[in-house]
Amino acid sequence: MNHQCAETSGTVVAARQVPGFRVIENHYPRGLELTRHFHEHAYLSYVLDGPYLESYGGSESVTCAPGVLRYLPPGQNHANVFDEGSHCLIVEVENQALRRVEEHSKALDRPGEIQGIASTWLGRRLNHEFRQKDDLAPVALEGILLEILAEGARKVEAVADSNAALPRWLSVARDYMEANALRAVRLAEIAAAAGVHRVHLSREFRRCFSTTAGEYLRRKRIEHACHLVAASEMPLAEIATKCGFSDQSHFSATFRSKMGLTPGRYRQMSQAR
């Protein structure tokens, strides 16, 4: 049996109301299991600490890991298991806020992870602004949350569009790039893995993904670097090496061009509580 769940479970640490949204900082105890239920409103979840499992219908459970933004549409049946306990920001999306996005896109009708550099940055900004006490914090929070919804819709549409006509060899090439993004990989090597000529790969990759293979790899490196900068005390020079950059200067310049701030500042904001 599925039950409507009007409120989040666990222990509420803090909550803030902004137009269209209610943001809740919540602790879920170790061993908590929530049986099949649904919410009247859409929900965003941003995991601060402690992964948990979420399942929908007969599908396999997905892991909601720290640093990940997930979206849950209104009325979506789901169940949760918090084996180790979790610390999250939960955002209840009121109907009028969701309608602002649905006027332009119907993509937010199924659950999923909001992926990419932009969502990584927006999740960190959400946590940062939630903890600010000045008069501008509610304005900033509202803007960030609308951006997250828009980014989620954009990603879902982009994946659907690319997968609709994506040849199998190009899927193989993309998966190979993601698996080898942190090392020096050449276009000829990727093409060989996919079984096509490198010129054909380069042309079709740009056409299907609206970016070059090199830029795609660079974004994947920055995504991994974001996680290391935010979740560890690893020196930036070591992160640069691990993520395939020639030196710290190259890494910092690339990071700033993609994220809009230096790795050091990103670490400060990410680790602020």
Q: Any idea where the domains of the chain sit in the sequence?
A: 3-162, 165-271
pLDDT digits (tens, 9 = 90+) for 112-131: 888 777 777 888 888 888 98
pLDDT digits (tens, 9 = 90+) for 202-230: 999 888 887 899 988 998 898 889 888 88
> What is the reported pLDDT for 234?
93
> What is the reported pLDDT for 123?
86
Query: 160 or 10: which carries more pLDDT confidence?
Result: 10
**Topology of the domain comprising 165-271:** Arc Repressor Mutant, subunit A (1.10.10)
Helix residue ranges, H only, the chain: 95-102, 117-130, 137-164, 168-179, 187-194, 198-209, 213-231, 236-242, 248-259, 263-271
> What is the reported pLDDT for 208?
83
Which residue in 5, 155, 1 sits closest to 74, CA to CA?
Answer: 5
> What is the reported pLDDT for 258?
81
CA–CA distances in Å: residue 36 to residues 28, 33, 73, 75, 244:
17, 10, 15, 12, 43
> What is the reported pLDDT for 210?
76
φ, ψ of residue 215 to 5 degrees: the values are: -70, -35
Alpha-carbon gap, residue 25 to 6, rounded angstroms: 16
> What is the reported pLDDT for 7?
57
Query: 146 or 6: which carries more pLDDT confidence?
Result: 146
> What is the reported pLDDT for 189?
95
What is the CATH architecture of 3-162? Sandwich (2.60)
- Whether residue 64 is predicted with pLDDT greater than 90 in this model: the reply is no
Can you tell me the mean pLDDT for 236-242? 94
Helix (H, G, I), strand (E, B) or coil at 253: helix
